[in-house]
């Protein structure tokens, strides 16, 4: 059987990585996003500490609007800490403090006058484990809009429908919006959590290992959803799964021991990493 172009590339890539147990990643070609690519989150010498321990070390980076950026690296390297800093979720940890600056749309996220509630409306988050409220599907989605003063039933109905459609869940739940969200499957619950985050019309979505508790089918649905949302939202996703990073993201950040070692277009980072440490990590020399 003749080798396909893809198989040829795979073969060439395998041969290129002499002696290494190289996983082959072939990130798909991705189209440029309309009106995307502006600095949306900018870190300047940004560090995050737990007490005296510097978990994230002097990061300098710009996250680009409307693209998907994956954050990868071994366990404990600071991925979640960095992600959570972007909507100040770390504020809930008393020992946690920061140095340097982290800007969102040119405004200091840690500025004296920043309102965390409004910040979290603009920068939504979905966690590793689906965490719907023990309420109806409708009330889960309407929760955020109500918190921000929307109480008109018709308006809420419109928001709930739109959000569930964006999260690719509407068709599965439109006839049971009054049922408890905890009755949904794990994958549906996670899409509900995405819908809940979208209901307040955020600019940025932070996804902290959103598929690690899901089976392959539910994982594929979330990955499809990320693809759908790409171009409308700036998305950052922490993932342990390098294949997932290579499939869903436009840019990838590789962290090691709190240091942002390499940050590049996903295709470049996975096929032609500049740093030896990145090369070693993506080829499975350490995990």
Ligand X SMILES: Nc1ncnc2c1ncn2[C@@H]1O[C@H](COP(=O)(O)OP(=O)(O)OP(=O)(O)O)[C@@H](O)[C@H]1O
Q: Which residues bind ligand X (CB under 6 A)?
A: 50, 55, 73, 75-81, 93, 95, 240
- DSSP letters, 104-127, are ETTEETT-TT--HHHHHHHEEEE-
Compute the distance between CA of residue 90 and CA of residue 284 in angstroms, rounded to an integer: 30
The pair of three-digit structure tokens given for residue 281, joined into one six-digit string? 């990590």
* Residue closer to ligand X (CB basis): 162 or 240: 240
CB of 277 to ligand X, least distance (A): 15
* Residue closer to ligand X (CB basis): 47 or 65: 47
Compute the distance between CA of residue 190 and CA of residue 188 in angstroms, rounded to an integer: 5
* Residue closer to ligand X (CB basis): 56 or 184: 56
Considering only CA atoms, give the Rg of the chain: 20
127: phi then psi, degrees, rounded to nearest 5: -100, 175
Q: Which residues contact 112 (CB under 8 A, 6 or more apart)?
A: none
CB of 283 to ligand X, least distance (A): 19
CB of 22 to ligand X, least distance (A): 22
* Residue closer to ligand X (CB basis): 96 or 137: 96
CB of 126 to ligand X, least distance (A): 15
The answer to whether 235 and 68 are in contact (CB under 8 A) is: yes
CB of 136 to ligand X, least distance (A): 32
* Residue closer to ligand X (CB basis): 50 or 127: 50
């Amino acid at each position: 059987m003749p080798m396909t172009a893809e198989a040829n590339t795979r073969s060439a890539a395998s041969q290129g990585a002499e002696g290494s147990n190289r996983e082959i990643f072939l990130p798909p070609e991705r189209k440029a996003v309309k009106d995307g690519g502006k600095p949306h989150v900018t870190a300047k010498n940004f560090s995050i500490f737990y007490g005296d321990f510097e978990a994230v070390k002097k990061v300098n980076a710009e996250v680009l609007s409307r693209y998907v950026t994956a954050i990868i690296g071994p366990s404990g390297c600071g991925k979640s800490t960095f992600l959570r800093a972007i909507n100040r979720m770390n504020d809930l940890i008393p020992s946690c403090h920061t140095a340097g600056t982290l800007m969102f749309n040119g405004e200091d996220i840690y500025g004296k006058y920043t309102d965390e509630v409004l910040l979290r409306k603009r920068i939504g988050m979905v966690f590793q484990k689906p965490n719907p409220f023990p309420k109806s599907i409708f009330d889960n989605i309407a929760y955020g809009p109500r918190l921000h003063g929307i109480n008109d039933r018709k308006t809420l109905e419109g928001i709930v429908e739109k959000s569930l459609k964006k999260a690719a869940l509407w068709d599965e739940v439109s006839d049971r919006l009054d049922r408890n969200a905890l009755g949904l499957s794990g994958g549906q619950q996670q899409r509900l959590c995405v819908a809940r985050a979208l209901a307040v019309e955020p600019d940025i979505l932070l996804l902290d290992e959103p598929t690690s508790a899901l089976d392959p089918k539910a994982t594929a649905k979330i990955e499809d959803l990320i693809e759908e949302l790409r171009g409308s939202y700036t998305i950052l996703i922490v993932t342990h799964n390098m294949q997932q990073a290579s499939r869903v993201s436009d840019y990838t950040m590789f962290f090691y021991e709190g240091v942002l070692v390499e940050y590049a277009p996903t295709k470049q980072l996975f096929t032609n990493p500049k740093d030896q440490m990145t090369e070693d990590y993506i080829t499975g020399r350490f995990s």
